[in-house]
Structure 1
């Protein structure tokens, strides 16, 4: 088993994945709020 050396892991792929996840969540929340506002306006 290889020795773990702190600070040597390339985390570039994980950082890109997390950034994509944050973007997805942000736009999902915006879409959900827009749908709820639309539903509230149509139901009135």
Structure 2
């Protein structure tokens, strides 16, 4: 069995995917909050 060496793997693709996911999640949360505020203002 091969020995594991911490920090040897190239993780640039995983980091880019995670960054994209976090941006999408943040933007989605902002859209939901704005929609809820808009609905609250309309419903009075």
Place the TM-score, normalised by the shorter chain, in its bin: 0.7 to 0.9
Query: Hey, what does 1:9 align to over in structure 2?
Result: 9
List per-residue Cα deviations over 1:1-44 (Å, max 9, x = no partner): 65432211000000000000110011001000000001001101
Report how many residues are paired.
44
In structure 2, list runs of 5 or more residues that go unmatched.
Answer: none
TM-align CA RMSD: 1.1
Query: Hey, what does 1:21 align to over in structure 2?
Result: 21
* SS of residue in 1 equivalent to 2:33: helix
In structure 1, list runs of 5 or more residues that go unmatched.
Answer: none
User: Structure 2 length normalisation: TM-score?
Assistant: 0.86
User: Structure 1 length normalisation: TM-score?
Assistant: 0.86
